[in-house]
Each structure stands twice: as structure tokens, then as C-alpha cells.
């Protein structure tokens, strides 16, 4: 097994080359461009998750209201 470091656009990698030719690259020091890209992706993902949370909250409110209406209707019919 051979171990060495490589540098490319993403940053500095530790490379482990196995005897069968397989290379394993571990990012040790990311570049500033890569860090900025990750931050932008995290912001985008947070916005998406916030939008999904708003939708889930709306659906929960609708479901609770439908449940209340169904219970009131069943009580009016005398089935509860």
C-alpha cells in the first residue's frame, strides 16, 4: 500500500493506493472555492427544508381541522 498527497481544484487529498490499483482519495484541506460551494449548497438546502417544513405544518393543520369536523359530524349523528 502506498500513501501520498495530491492537490487539485478541490484541495489537498491524502491518496491511499492499494496493491490491486484501487485509489482512495480523502479530502484533508478543502480549497476556498470548494468551501464556498459547500456553503452555497447548505444555504440552498436550508431554504428547501424550510419550505418543506411550512408545507408539513399546513398539512398538519388541515388534517387536524378535518379530524375536528369529522368528530363533530359523528357526534351530531349520534355515532360517538
* Residue 79 pLDDT: 84
Q: Which helix (DSSP H) or strand (DSSP E) does residue 50 occupy? A: helix 32-77
Task: Return left, alpha or beta for 20; rule: phi > 0 is left, psi -120 to 50 is alpha, else beta.
Answer: alpha
Distance of CA 6 to the CA centre of its chain: 29
Q: Residue-wise pLDDT tens for the chain (80 aa)?
A: 899 999 999 999 999 999 999 999 999 999 999 999 999 999 999 999 999 999 999 999 999 999 999 999 999 998 87
* Residue 80 pLDDT: 79
What are the residue boundaries of the structural domains of the chain, listed by start?
1-30, 32-80
Amino acid at each position: 500500500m502506498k500513501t501520498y498527497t495530491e492537490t487539485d481544484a478541490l484541495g489537498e487529498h491524502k491518496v491511499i493506493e492499494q496493491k490491486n490499483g484501487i485509489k482512495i482519495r480523502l479530502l484533508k484541506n478543502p480549497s476556498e472555492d470548494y468551501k464556498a460551494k459547500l456553503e452555497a449548497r447548505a444555504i440552498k438546502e436550508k431554504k428547501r427544508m424550510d419550505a418543506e417544513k411550512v408545507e408539513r405544518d399546513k398539512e398538519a393543520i388541515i388534517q387536524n381541522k378535518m379530524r375536528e369536523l369529522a368528530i363533530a359530524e359523528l357526534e351530531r349523528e349520534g355515532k360517538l
